[in-house]
Amino acid sequence: MAVREILKMGNPQLLQVSEPVAESEFSELGDLVTDLIDTMTAAEGAGLAAPQIGVMKRVVIFGFEHNERYPDAGSVPFTVLINPELEVLDHEVQYGWEGCLSVPGMRGMVPRAQNLRYRGFTLDGTPIDRTVDGFHARVVQHECDHLDGILYPMRMEDMSYFGFEDQLRDMASSCPAQSTTT
Protein backbone atom coordinates (compact mmCIF):
# COMPACT_ATOMS: atom_id res chain seq x y z
CA MET A 1 0.00 0.00 0.00
CA ALA A 2 1.53 3.29 0.99
CA VAL A 3 3.54 5.24 3.50
CA ARG A 4 1.34 8.24 4.26
CA GLU A 5 2.26 11.69 5.47
CA ILE A 6 2.01 12.00 9.25
CA LEU A 7 0.23 15.16 10.39
CA LYS A 8 2.18 17.23 12.91
CA MET A 9 1.16 19.13 16.02
CA GLY A 10 -0.43 22.40 14.93
CA ASN A 11 -2.56 20.70 12.31
CA PRO A 12 -6.15 21.26 13.49
CA GLN A 13 -7.21 17.76 12.41
CA LEU A 14 -5.15 16.34 15.29
CA LEU A 15 -7.45 18.17 17.73
CA GLN A 16 -10.68 16.69 16.36
CA VAL A 17 -12.69 13.81 17.79
CA SER A 18 -12.74 10.82 15.42
CA GLU A 19 -15.86 8.92 14.37
CA PRO A 20 -16.67 5.37 15.51
CA VAL A 21 -16.43 2.70 12.83
CA ALA A 22 -19.84 1.29 11.90
CA GLU A 23 -20.19 -2.48 11.73
CA SER A 24 -20.76 -2.29 7.97
CA GLU A 25 -17.48 -0.39 7.53
CA PHE A 26 -15.14 -3.02 9.00
CA SER A 27 -14.74 -4.78 5.64
CA GLU A 28 -13.53 -1.50 4.09
CA LEU A 29 -10.74 -0.87 6.64
CA GLY A 30 -8.12 -3.17 5.13
CA ASP A 31 -6.37 -0.48 3.06
CA LEU A 32 -6.39 1.97 5.98
CA VAL A 33 -4.83 -0.57 8.35
CA THR A 34 -2.19 -1.50 5.77
CA ASP A 35 -1.31 2.19 5.34
CA LEU A 36 -1.11 2.62 9.11
CA ILE A 37 1.25 -0.36 9.39
CA ASP A 38 3.42 0.80 6.48
CA THR A 39 3.60 4.34 7.87
CA MET A 40 4.35 3.25 11.45
CA THR A 41 7.02 0.82 10.25
CA ALA A 42 8.71 3.43 8.04
CA ALA A 43 8.77 5.91 10.94
CA GLU A 44 9.92 3.23 13.44
CA GLY A 45 7.05 4.12 15.76
CA ALA A 46 5.48 2.10 18.56
CA GLY A 47 1.96 3.05 17.58
CA LEU A 48 -0.11 5.12 15.21
CA ALA A 49 -3.69 6.37 15.16
CA ALA A 50 -5.79 6.89 12.01
CA PRO A 51 -6.23 10.66 12.56
CA GLN A 52 -2.43 11.03 12.40
CA ILE A 53 -2.69 10.22 8.69
CA GLY A 54 -5.79 12.36 8.31
CA VAL A 55 -8.44 9.64 8.60
CA MET A 56 -10.90 10.61 11.33
CA LYS A 57 -11.92 7.09 12.34
CA ARG A 58 -11.51 5.35 15.71
CA VAL A 59 -8.73 2.99 14.59
CA VAL A 60 -5.30 2.64 16.20
CA ILE A 61 -2.41 0.23 15.81
CA PHE A 62 0.44 -0.40 18.23
CA GLY A 63 2.96 -2.99 19.28
CA PHE A 64 6.62 -3.90 18.95
CA GLU A 65 9.16 -6.50 19.93
CA HIS A 66 11.86 -3.98 20.65
CA ASN A 67 11.74 -0.26 19.96
CA GLU A 68 14.87 1.88 19.92
CA ARG A 69 12.91 4.85 21.22
CA TYR A 70 11.92 2.82 24.29
CA PRO A 71 14.86 0.45 24.90
CA ASP A 72 13.79 -0.41 28.46
CA ALA A 73 10.19 -1.22 27.62
CA GLY A 74 9.00 -4.79 27.34
CA SER A 75 7.40 -6.01 24.16
CA VAL A 76 3.78 -5.19 23.40
CA PRO A 77 1.85 -7.53 21.06
CA PHE A 78 1.08 -6.03 17.68
CA THR A 79 -2.58 -5.00 17.78
CA VAL A 80 -5.14 -3.41 15.46
CA LEU A 81 -7.74 -1.87 17.78
CA ILE A 82 -11.03 -0.50 16.45
CA ASN A 83 -13.59 1.47 18.48
CA PRO A 84 -11.54 1.18 21.69
CA GLU A 85 -13.02 1.69 25.12
CA LEU A 86 -10.68 2.31 28.04
CA GLU A 87 -11.35 1.64 31.70
CA VAL A 88 -8.85 2.89 34.28
CA LEU A 89 -8.79 0.25 37.01
CA ASP A 90 -7.48 2.17 40.02
CA HIS A 91 -5.77 5.40 41.08
CA GLU A 92 -2.19 4.26 40.51
CA VAL A 93 -0.34 6.67 38.20
CA GLN A 94 2.92 6.06 36.35
CA TYR A 95 5.20 8.85 35.09
CA GLY A 96 7.21 8.10 31.98
CA TRP A 97 8.79 9.64 28.89
CA GLU A 98 6.73 9.70 25.72
CA GLY A 99 7.30 10.73 22.17
CA CYS A 100 4.88 10.99 19.28
CA LEU A 101 5.32 10.79 15.52
CA SER A 102 3.17 13.94 15.29
CA VAL A 103 5.58 15.77 17.63
CA PRO A 104 8.86 14.72 16.01
CA GLY A 105 12.15 15.04 17.85
CA MET A 106 10.59 15.78 21.21
CA ARG A 107 9.93 13.97 24.46
CA GLY A 108 7.89 14.72 27.54
CA MET A 109 7.18 13.22 30.96
CA VAL A 110 3.54 12.17 31.00
CA PRO A 111 1.39 10.79 33.81
CA ARG A 112 -0.74 7.80 32.81
CA ALA A 113 -2.88 5.24 34.55
CA GLN A 114 -0.75 2.25 35.57
CA ASN A 115 -3.54 -0.33 35.35
CA LEU A 116 -5.92 -0.40 32.42
CA ARG A 117 -8.60 -2.58 30.88
CA TYR A 118 -9.29 -1.98 27.23
CA ARG A 119 -11.82 -3.37 24.86
CA GLY A 120 -12.46 -3.04 21.15
CA PHE A 121 -12.36 -5.06 17.97
CA THR A 122 -9.76 -6.45 15.61
CA LEU A 123 -9.97 -5.90 11.87
CA ASP A 124 -12.04 -9.08 11.38
CA GLY A 125 -14.51 -7.98 14.06
CA THR A 126 -13.22 -10.23 16.85
CA PRO A 127 -13.64 -8.62 20.28
CA ILE A 128 -10.51 -7.71 22.25
CA ASP A 129 -10.67 -7.52 26.05
CA ARG A 130 -7.34 -7.08 27.84
CA THR A 131 -6.18 -6.01 31.27
CA VAL A 132 -2.67 -4.55 31.10
CA ASP A 133 -0.26 -2.35 33.02
CA GLY A 134 2.93 -0.35 32.66
CA PHE A 135 4.19 0.50 29.21
CA HIS A 136 1.48 -1.48 27.43
CA ALA A 137 -1.14 0.60 29.30
CA ARG A 138 0.78 3.80 28.44
CA VAL A 139 0.88 3.05 24.70
CA VAL A 140 -2.85 2.30 24.56
CA GLN A 141 -3.72 5.51 26.42
CA HIS A 142 -1.43 7.56 24.16
CA GLU A 143 -2.88 6.14 20.93
CA CYS A 144 -6.51 6.33 22.06
CA ASP A 145 -6.00 9.96 23.13
CA HIS A 146 -5.38 10.72 19.44
CA LEU A 147 -8.96 9.61 18.73
CA ASP A 148 -10.21 12.33 21.08
CA GLY A 149 -7.95 15.05 19.71
CA ILE A 150 -5.48 14.92 22.61
CA LEU A 151 -1.70 15.07 22.12
CA TYR A 152 0.63 14.01 24.95
CA PRO A 153 1.89 17.56 25.76
CA MET A 154 -1.74 18.33 26.69
CA ARG A 155 -1.47 15.62 29.40
CA MET A 156 1.75 16.93 30.92
CA GLU A 157 1.90 18.44 34.41
CA ASP A 158 5.38 19.97 34.34
CA MET A 159 6.58 21.53 31.09
CA SER A 160 10.17 21.62 32.37
CA TYR A 161 10.16 17.90 31.46
CA PHE A 162 9.37 18.65 27.79
CA GLY A 163 12.06 19.16 25.20
CA PHE A 164 14.09 18.01 22.26
CA GLU A 165 15.18 14.38 22.41
CA ASP A 166 18.84 15.15 21.72
CA GLN A 167 18.96 17.70 24.55
CA LEU A 168 17.11 15.69 27.18
CA ARG A 169 19.59 12.87 27.66
CA ASP A 170 21.02 14.15 30.93
CA MET A 171 17.62 14.88 32.38
CA ALA A 172 16.27 11.53 31.25
CA SER A 173 19.01 9.67 33.07
CA SER A 174 18.84 11.80 36.22
CA CYS A 175 15.08 11.52 36.43
CA PRO A 176 14.11 8.00 35.41
CA ALA A 177 10.52 7.12 34.77
CA GLN A 178 8.82 6.25 38.01
CA SER A 179 5.60 4.77 39.21
CA THR A 180 3.72 6.47 41.95
CA THR A 181 0.38 6.16 43.64
CA THR A 182 -1.84 9.17 44.07
Binding status of residue 29 toward Ni ion by CB under 5 A: no
- For the chain, the C-alpha Rg in angstroms (whole number) is 16
Residue nearest to Ni ion (CB): 100
- Give the separation between CA 122 and CA 61, rounded to whole angstroms: 10
Binding status of residue 106 toward Ni ion by CB under 5 A: no
Question: Which residue, 51 or 134, is less far from Ni ion as judged by CB?
Answer: 51
Of 28, 65, 143, 157, which is the active-site residue?
A: 143
Asked about 143 being catalytic, the answer comes back as yes
Q: What are the angstrom distances between the C-alpha of 43 and each of 28, 38, 94, 100?
A: 24, 9, 26, 11
Binding status of residue 61 toward Ni ion by CB under 5 A: no
Interface with Ni ion (CB under 5 A), residue from 6, 21, 82, 100: 100
CB 55 within 8 A of CB 71: no
Which of 46, 137, 135 lies closest to 84 in space, CA to CA?
Answer: 137
Question: Which residue, 8 or 26, is less far from Ni ion as judged by CB?
Answer: 8
Q: Which residues bind Ni ion (CB under 5 A)?
A: 100
Catalytic residues: 143
